[in-house]
Structure 1
């Protein structure tokens, strides 16, 4: 008996030690490798939840008595395991708290072999647009999925990491009358005794779990014209559009645009679209803009449902987002990063390719300028000392969710474009093709890409070192330049360090391998020279003698900021109007970055604004408008604000009046976009009385309801509708908000709903502000709408104090009513625009308490705190003297 007790005690201790093994942080251990999933789901959109069975054929890579996998918010009712000899083993499923991890205990140690793991489970539909979630449109329920980055575990137990690329067989049981789609084409349908339908679909290619997608509901399914065979592909690709009930006709434009995008991508990669069919689905509510699920790309519905009233910006965005998601069919879907630290391999490539495709197929959309704007937005974020690396180590789920930011997208794309310009387009494309063919339907890392480019370019290790300098360290380079001329020879003296704004405590002593390109002009003759700058200081001998001026970021292709010696900057400023559009944007960023650093004062910036305003190109003419608004709000007293407003009116009002306030037959999309941008600047940002009156007239016409009590949106210019309604809310107060809330209860159009939601957020009335904030977290607002309304509230300085007080009280409700990916950004949302270090302390104290438990908050708080303190430092550095000098001079508009 004593020996038996000893043995039992020993076994108990061993079991206890096994259970005490810490759960894995980050990646799962390599104990097991999934080989194939068979997933069966019973999905009723009218129900509260779903049920499922998953069988995972997997390989035990080593002898083990347990394994770890992912499962979150799932009730597992039954679990079983059969070994290679088809013997069943009693196994136990144990979720690890709310971590999303679960442990499968085998009851004994099994040798390395193939086994079949099966789990029966059930779950409620997710309420925050994750995993398998439910949304309602026009009273009808729909089921949609969003698995990226780590929400597949909310839909089925599995190995929810991108390195596990596995084939899937999917079976869906759905109610009679429901339409169901997934990544692959349907192969079989059977009517069940209860009247439900059992649908089976083709086996997928090898995919990571985050790319599995399905949708069930009363969809309109519209057949598009098949995408014709090409030299890369023998078979046509079936193309369909999928929309909520009654909306199928609005898919026409997106379906017509798609074949040319797919063909252009195949031509670039020299590799065929590989997923059999292509469906584009318009989801009634969606957390992102779109998701690149192979064979079933899911979009926020406003991006696919287009008609004659669609604003020009949304029509252009539809094409660009479509190009982005289809580029993912190669980058991300065909070749996948093994872990989230290489997310940029997905998103940066898709962003870069989106611009290339748009520029080639729709040059009027000026994707070249959009690319530069994206890079400059990323450089602004990268100027923080708290900025992360593009290839940031991923330690937990918050790190994963936080990686989807402007650095991954914008910086990554800009770095690719910079190295493409240096290596040459053909060489770069050859490297891309080699990379794609070598790693198709597998995983690849940044090193794999760099190796492919180096081989194609026949470059030595300096290429890899240079690219890694941008990927593996944070920050944006600042290149300082000074022109030296003597004895007919010209030399640029260059130095580099990390760029920081005034007041930053960051360490500037960093180095990059910068593909530096300079454009020079002498007697009207332009030239460009390039050199890899990888030392702290260096020189570049200029061809052709001493130039009249130079721009140290030719064609704005470089991901770096610049500062020129005073006399060199003066020469460039004098020539700014002769630069092309791209280089004028580079000049604008030099002014902006100098202003933030304290090297450029407010008067100089306002003068530069006047020069750029001459440009017929909208992006250039308005390039410094946010700096203008910052000066007006933070440096200017009442008299200075009036002078600035007069100056802005002189610069821009004649152009707006020439365009008029209504659409014109046959006008270009650029005219529509320019009119909308000028109306927003003049009507909302500088409160021009004349413009606001014109916008209010349209707004009053919208509020004059029709016979059914509905708003008359057609009474306004749809391209300016957001600005029209925002001004109307500010001028008409409760009456306007009453009308918008009543319309929102009956309106299902995503574009119009977003416009109304953001207009409500623009109110500056204290009582109405409280009202719309409460609306934002009510059931009347969709999950994807809450953050938009609160962001607009924060943008208006008169709302910030009240919003902050409310936010602290309602934080839990905000978290519950917003998509998970937004949670880490909430500290920044409620910090936007603050320039008070006292407020920085309040934000830090609040988010440092219970709020810090929300995933990703720590990183967002760090960025928010730094942004507030830098704004305060800039305000102190700039002071008011320069603005007073400008005010006394009263410059006339050029």
Structure 2
């Protein structure tokens, strides 16, 4: 056909198809299933030094109904050419129409109606590198540009036209044409390299196993690619698995600690699932800037750089976090990558399982890290959000793209993991493992739903509908069960009366008349020591016999803290349990703390009683237990105390229970000390020095902070204990004000080490002067702060008083558009919570509503974010109105 006729043909195709599309609504959620991808070939040309990239995407598509078009996802793509080849025939021109620019949905018009058959769709396009750390984006690090991907949840559409949903799971063939002096990596092993014209080369990678779009990954840049120890063969996997680290230029040597810890994690996971790691290699990449903590891309796992770039002097919390996060992401290679959720309402099948499995791996490999306590602490953190009426279900219906982003929260991660652990404890670990192994085998390289998982566990356990209904009650109903217990004497036998309802703190407008299928296990005192008893509480009330229980003895209503519920105790039972606290396990003492906190937030005990009940915990030799009351005391100090005398009373309490331990630990690392000592030193120093402002602690921290600042433009980081760096610099900021703030801001652009940058930004966020706080927040919007670092400083400054929060609010509203533009569309749902940080009055809630209501349409997920922020303010207001701070002063 002559070239001049091409525009006429395009107009004719548009005219013929217009009436056919008029009645069909553009899909804004899931795409229709009558067009399904079978595989992809991605051929991209990527030069990070440029502002755009280009590519050709070829998709084999099965068309299962007659149609003159299909729907596809694509956003910010400039499409140059589209062809469709039907039934193995000659490619014919088609048309790409951006039908929904906001959601990134496009239509491919064939120009004629095609019958059900296999098609080959080829799309040539170009696109800008994304500026919000989504899709294929670029960052500049030490003056060198890098390009890399972050596709989850629905950002593959920025990188290539695709069916951007988890259920469309296919193999991929990936080719990257890149500058000859750069390195390129992707999900699978490179199998070929060929010249591609002057200054370029083309890398071809092996075909992937079936993947959803959100797990496709590649990266281009002047990377250091270093070999780690090969992961030796197991009974589940033949051959040695290649392991590599991918780091920014010059940083490869700092990957050693992370790489050395990886083989044992893979071996542990393979042993648990009885299923070998399925991909042909494992690369772990330290991202120079990243919107998430880490991402489980199959075969190419990406992390925030501070999690992988370590040395022997790194802060203890980073070393532990590195192992834990690596274990979490590698657990995903089975739950998420091998078996993938069918839709985002089952995101918990990915994240809950990876969280739960990471804790099992850590407990086996590093029991001293106390992942059993992390499990309980994580669940209790989730309960704080789950106490809101505006909370989510674990399995939450997805009504729009904003709901997808909202799903990445404590409900999906920590609550889900806790619920898994609760039912694992109920049926037994071996039985649960049997069910999990069958689940993986039944759905390998395919998709699954919650029903598939629950059925596998129920079958392994030989359980019927009651078990399934109990499990589903936690998946499909929001909120936290509140299980209240009462010890009674029934014909000479001790019996525990149980009642359950939804936990709703003071100020809540929710309906408490909710029930779950709660596996309730209690541990109780006997003449020989203690014993356990369990029941499945499915009604509003029930009872549980405690054979051999000692009359008047203690009862812990959540044995091992294995249950996802808050416990309620009458005054006598609480007194007895408090007196016998050393008889409880470490996890149970955390459950006790949570029960006391629940009573306080219900208004059943006052601040003085709260402190009295928590004080025995501080004597624990286990830092996670001893330090748990710090959160309660900090809230009392910032949100409830109104006078200097009340704050002084809290400071005295804190010094009595924690200062001797701080003095014992000292302020410098000791040869051979336990990692838990280093972590507790950092926790206590921050609490006593920055929150409670204990002079002796501040003086020691100030010495270290000032020694770092004495380095001038190049800060002398080696002058501070790495574990105390942020607190030490924070005290210097508070003591020296503008001089320290200006020095840190001036030095930050020249600081490369991510741990040092985190400490500097955290210190800047501790500023107290309102004018300096505004300056720090504005600094967070500058190019000197990475997009992934912004959150450290967006809420900088003291927020205890309404005047402080007014200053923060005025800055936020004045800079709203700049914040919105930089934080990214899919993080917009968090903006109401950022704006409301520390708020505790009805007036603050009303101004939040007034400001965000007209902006909700442009913020995916912000409706729920606004609801939760306002409800949190209402609960804070109700609690401060009920609880009398005068009880703090005797």
TM-score by structure 2 length? 0.97
- Residue 303 of structure 1 and its aligned partner are, at CA, apart by 0.1
- Residue 546 of structure 1 and its aligned partner are, at CA, apart by 4.2
Tell me the secondary structure at the aligned position of residue 787 of structure 2. Answer: coil
- Residue 821 of structure 1 and its aligned partner are, at CA, apart by 4.3
Pick from 34, 41, 59 the counterpart of residue 38 of structure 1. 41
Pick from 642, 650, 668 the counterpart of residue 644 of structure 1. 650
Of residues 537-546 and 508-517 in structure 1, the stretch that sits farther from structure 2 once superposed is 537-546
- Residue 225 of structure 1 and its aligned partner are, at CA, apart by 1.4
Pick from 112, 128, 138 the counterpart of residue 142 of structure 2. 138
8 Å CA contact retained: 2:394, 2:411? yes
Instruction: Please state if 1:401 is matched with 2:405.
Output: yes
Q: Distance in 2 between matches of 1:110 and 1:766?
A: 66
- Residue 616 of structure 1 and its aligned partner are, at CA, apart by 1.2
8 Å CA contact retained: 2:233, 2:240? yes
- Residue 577 of structure 1 and its aligned partner are, at CA, apart by 3.0
Q: Distance in 2 between matches of 1:538 and 1:519?
A: 17
- Which residue in the other structure is 1:387 paired with? 391
Note the alpha carbon deviations across 1:706-740, whole angstroms, 9 max, x for none. 6xx31001111110111111111111111111211
- Which residue in the other structure is 2:736 paired with? 732
Note the alpha carbon deviations across 1:456-479, whole angstroms, 9 max, x for none. 111111111001000001001001
Instruction: Please state if 1:237 is matched with 2:267.
Output: no
Q: Distance in 1 between matches of 2:565 and 2:299?
A: 38
- Residue 10 of structure 1 and its aligned partner are, at CA, apart by 15
Instruction: Please state if 1:426 is matched with 2:426.
Output: no
Instruction: Please state if 1:438 is matched with 2:430.
Output: no
Pick from 641, 654, 663 the counterpart of residue 660 of structure 2. 654
- Residue 90 of structure 1 and its aligned partner are, at CA, apart by 3.3
8 Å CA contact retained: 2:56, 2:125? yes
- Residue 14 of structure 1 and its aligned partner are, at CA, apart by 6.9
- Residue 609 of structure 1 and its aligned partner are, at CA, apart by 2.5
- Which residue in the other structure is 1:853 paired with? 858
Pick from 707, 713, 727 the counterpart of residue 701 of structure 1. 707
Q: Distance in 2 between matches of 1:546 and 1:661?
A: 46
In the TM superposition, 1:547-586 aligns within 5 A as 547=551, 548-586=553-591
In the TM superposition, 1:471-482 aligns within 5 A as 471-482=475-486
In the TM superposition, 1:435-474 aligns within 5 A as 435-474=439-478
Note the alpha carbon deviations across 1:387-412, whole angstroms, 9 max, x for none. 11110000111000110000000010
- Residue 21 of structure 1 and its aligned partner are, at CA, apart by 2.1
Q: Distance in 1 between matches of 2:386 and 2:653?
A: 32
Q: Distance in 1 between matches of 2:16 and 2:160?
A: 32
- Residue 819 of structure 1 and its aligned partner are, at CA, apart by 4.3
Q: Distance in 2 between matches of 1:542 and 1:745?
A: 63
- Which residue in the other structure is 1:162 paired with? 166
Residues 1:14 and 1:35: Cα distance change in structure 2 (over 3 Å) = closer
Pick from 70, 82, 101 the counterpart of residue 79 of structure 1. 82
Note the alpha carbon deviations across 1:190-248, whole angstroms, 9 max, x for none. 11222200110000000000000001000111111110001111111001011111111
- Residue 567 of structure 1 and its aligned partner are, at CA, apart by 1.4
Q: Distance in 1 between matches of 2:609 and 2:526?
A: 25
Instruction: Please state if 1:597 is matched with 2:602.
Output: yes
In the TM superposition, 1:847-886 aligns within 5 A as 847-883=852-888
Q: Distance in 1 between matches of 2:798 and 2:219?
A: 35
Note the alpha carbon deviations across 1:92-118, whole angstroms, 9 max, x for none. 111122221001111111000000001
- Residue 486 of structure 1 and its aligned partner are, at CA, apart by 4.5
- Which residue in the other structure is 2:4 paired with? none
8 Å CA contact retained: 1:76, 1:122? yes
Of residues 544-553 and 99-108 in structure 1, the stretch that sits farther from structure 2 once superposed is 544-553
Q: Distance in 1 between matches of 2:589 and 2:67?
A: 63
Instruction: Please state if 1:355 is matched with 2:359.
Output: yes
8 Å CA contact retained: 1:220, 1:244? yes
Instruction: Please state if 1:756 is matched with 2:760.
Output: yes
- Residue 786 of structure 1 and its aligned partner are, at CA, apart by 1.0
Q: Distance in 1 between matches of 2:869 and 2:531?
A: 42
Tell me the secondary structure at the aligned position of residue 373 of structure 1. Answer: helix
Q: Distance in 1 between matches of 2:192 and 2:13?
A: 54
- Residue 852 of structure 1 and its aligned partner are, at CA, apart by 4.6
Q: Distance in 2 between matches of 1:726 and 1:10?
A: 65
8 Å CA contact retained: 1:784, 1:819? no
Tell me the secondary structure at the aligned position of residue 192 of structure 2. Answer: strand
Residues 1:524 and 1:737: Cα distance change in structure 2 (over 3 Å) = farther
Tell me the secondary structure at the aligned position of residue 82 of structure 1. Answer: strand
- Residue 18 of structure 1 and its aligned partner are, at CA, apart by 1.2
Pick from 339, 343, 348 the counterpart of residue 347 of structure 2. 343
Of residues 371-380 and 830-839 in structure 1, the stretch that sits farther from structure 2 once superposed is 830-839
Of residues 482-491 and 773-782 in structure 1, the stretch that sits farther from structure 2 once superposed is 482-491
Q: Distance in 1 between matches of 2:807 and 2:309?
A: 36
Instruction: Please state if 1:187 is matched with 2:216.
Output: no
Note the alpha carbon deviations across 1:547-598, whole angstroms, 9 max, x for none. 4010100000000011112211221121123312111000000011111111
8 Å CA contact retained: 1:493, 1:540? yes
Pick from 499, 515, 518 the counterpart of residue 519 of structure 2. 515
Q: Distance in 1 between matches of 2:798 and 2:475?
A: 32
- Residue 446 of structure 1 and its aligned partner are, at CA, apart by 0.4
- Which residue in the other structure is 1:891 paired with? none
Q: Distance in 1 between matches of 2:796 and 2:827?
A: 15
Instruction: Please state if 1:174 is matched with 2:178.
Output: yes
Tell me the secondary structure at the aligned position of residue 609 of structure 1. Answer: helix
Q: Distance in 2 between matches of 1:56 and 1:350?
A: 31
Pick from 683, 689, 692 the counterpart of residue 689 of structure 2. 683
Q: Distance in 2 between matches of 1:856 and 1:794?
A: 28
Q: Distance in 2 between matches of 1:410 and 1:307?
A: 29
Q: Distance in 1 between matches of 2:213 and 2:404?
A: 15
- Which residue in the other structure is 1:784 paired with? 788
Tell me the secondary structure at the aligned position of residue 107 of structure 1. Answer: strand
- Which residue in the other structure is 1:57 paired with? 60
- Which residue in the other structure is 1:21 paired with? 24
Note the alpha carbon deviations across 1:794-829, whole angstroms, 9 max, x for none. 756574221110100111111122244432111112
- Residue 767 of structure 1 and its aligned partner are, at CA, apart by 2.2
- Which residue in the other structure is 2:727 paired with? 723
- Which residue in the other structure is 1:832 paired with? 837
8 Å CA contact retained: 2:63, 2:116? yes
8 Å CA contact retained: 2:795, 2:808? no
Instruction: Please state if 1:114 is matched with 2:109.
Output: no
8 Å CA contact retained: 1:499, 1:508? yes
Instruction: Please state if 1:128 is matched with 2:146.
Output: no
Tell me the secondary structure at the aligned position of residue 823 of structure 2. Answer: coil
Q: Which runs of 5+ in 1 are unaligned?
A: 1-7, 889-894
Residues 1:11 and 1:91: Cα distance change in structure 2 (over 3 Å) = closer
Tell me the secondary structure at the aligned position of residue 785 of structure 1. Answer: helix
Residues 1:231 and 1:14: Cα distance change in structure 2 (over 3 Å) = closer
Q: Distance in 2 between matches of 1:695 and 1:565?
A: 43
- Residue 15 of structure 1 and its aligned partner are, at CA, apart by 2.2
Q: Distance in 2 between matches of 1:873 and 1:110?
A: 63
- Which residue in the other structure is 2:277 paired with? 273
Tell me the secondary structure at the aligned position of residue 794 of structure 2. Answer: helix
Q: Distance in 2 between matches of 1:191 and 1:764?
A: 58
Of residues 497-506 and 798-807 in structure 1, the stretch that sits farther from structure 2 once superposed is 798-807
Matched residue count:
876
Tell me the secondary structure at the aligned position of residue 616 of structure 1. Answer: coil
- Residue 771 of structure 1 and its aligned partner are, at CA, apart by 1.3
Tell me the secondary structure at the aligned position of residue 867 of structure 1. Answer: helix
Q: Which runs of 5+ in 2 are unaligned?
A: 1-10
- Which residue in the other structure is 1:669 paired with? 675
- Residue 309 of structure 1 and its aligned partner are, at CA, apart by 2.2
- Which residue in the other structure is 1:804 paired with? 809
Residues 1:794 and 1:445: Cα distance change in structure 2 (over 3 Å) = farther
TM-score by structure 1 length? 0.96
Tell me the secondary structure at the aligned position of residue 455 of structure 2. Answer: helix
Q: Distance in 1 between matches of 2:255 and 2:634?
A: 38
8 Å CA contact retained: 1:162, 1:338? yes
8 Å CA contact retained: 2:527, 2:550? no
8 Å CA contact retained: 1:794, 1:803? no
Q: Distance in 2 between matches of 1:771 and 1:342?
A: 42
Tell me the secondary structure at the aligned position of residue 474 of structure 1. Answer: coil
- Which residue in the other structure is 2:7 paired with? none
Pick from 272, 292, 295 the counterpart of residue 299 of structure 2. 295
